Amino acid sequence: MDKLIIEGGARLKGEVTISGAKNAVLPILAATLLTDEPCVIKGVPNLRDTNSMLKILRALGKVAEFDKGRVNVCAGKVTNYIAEYKLVSTMRASFCVLGPLLGKLKKAKVSYPGGCVIGARPVDLHLKGITALGADINIESGYVVATAKKLRGAYVYLGGAYGSSVLATDNVMMAAVLASGKTIIESAACEPEVVDLAEFLIKMGAKIKGHGTPNIEIEGVKHLHGAVHTVISDRIEAGTMILASLITGGDILIKNVQYQHLGALIDKLSEAGVHISRTDGTLHVKGSRRLKAVNITTLPYPGFPTDMQAQMMSLMAVSNGISVITEKIYPDRFVHVAELNRMGAHIQKEGPHAIVEGIKSLSGAPVMASDLRASAGLVLAGLVARGKTSISRIYHLERGYEFIEEKLINLGAKVWREKE
């Protein structure tokens, strides 16, 4: 197993191109189960999670080829309805094969999901939505077993304790496109990745309206055909690169960015004293001084994304003043606090809040990544810290950031791998 070593202090300069969105491509790949015809997905990032989803598709009978950012899913029927534990346990998003399997075959057996360890993150909303469409659900030996003689359109409310659920919205939407009649999803997730999935389904022949709003309306169709689709760019990678430039006092031109997906982050950075210039699909981010501390509250889109919370905490750790970061999506998503404090940060956790007292500099230290976004936060901290930072369990990083080392090295960072 590798660890990532970062020699801090380098100002990042140059150009970087943002990859396709991980959280869009995974459900889009799952949606190819809904048709027997070929599909082509472009702009696909080469990630651990992408390859895990492709393994699941192949195990279910699909022939899928991946080369240079392009996935070709060949014509052919789904021959297996069981998504086994050894595959599904590697990432949470794999649970979104439940909806398309049930929609296509009227039966599915899917293991409870794995992935990052961030609190309970239950699948109750998924099962509630699928049940509303007429499926019978049983839990057997760690598997969700869903069957239905016929799926029927229904009113589905997906509001949860911490807001809407992206994957539950994806799952219900994919099950509903082949159901008979109309489905209305209320309190649906509005994230750009949900919209991208809906756009792909529409290209396949689905009838969907209202995606991108809390109320999605789906009129079921009898069958879906193949389609060609290019995945949106990854707003979380874009946000991470923006903060990388700011935290190092860098000067980076960030390409392939969909600015409209970054509103909450850009707004908070503006409050902190940052000016970001933009042209079509490109952002110019220049960091020159310590930023003003700002308070952050994570919320469902279009609010501040929970997937940027750890990275923003690293930036606030070296900003001027005190910041209160409130986590309303996953209240337990603060494992990285202890690791940042090992690097000299002054952060105190109080329930769903983290109180960050900004200091002038961090010190390199051995730290451990607990999840995908925490690992990105630790990378940012390592880039600005004095001395060397060693980050173990970087397989988390590989789940969501394509070619992250190469991109950072090309910007002037001193980053390399060593064996644990």
**Catalytic (active-site) positions:** 116
Do 322 and 289 contact (CB within 8 A), yes or no?
Answer: no
N residues, the chain = 420
CB hemisphere CA count around 315 (13 angstroms) = 32
Closest by CA to 109, choosing from 55, 76, 59, 147, is 147
Helical residues (DSSP H) of 107-221, grouped into ranges: 124-132, 166-176, 192-203
Angle, helix 263-271 to helix 235-247, in steps of 10 degrees: 20
Tokens matching residue 267? 């707004």
Tokens matching residue 22? 């991980």
CB proximity list for 86: less than 8 A, separation 6 or greater: none
3-class secondary-structure state, position 114: coil
Q: What are 208's strand-pairing partners? A: 218
Q: Count of CB atoms within 10 A of residue 207's CB?
A: 13
Sign of torsion, CA 187 192 194 198? positive
Sign of torsion, CA 279 282 287 293? positive
Closest by CA to 192, choosing from 95, 120, 259, 112, is 259
Q: How far apart are CA 160 and CA 149, in angstroms?
A: 28
Amino acid letter, 118: I
Sign of torsion, CA 311 53 51 114? positive
Residue in the structure block whose two tokens are 């109320």: 215
CB proximity list for 60: less than 8 A, separation 6 or greater: 33, 78, 79, 80, 81, 83, 97, 101
Tokens matching residue 299? 């919320």
CB hemisphere CA count around 255 (13 angstroms) = 5
Residue in the structure block whose two tokens are 């940052």: 274
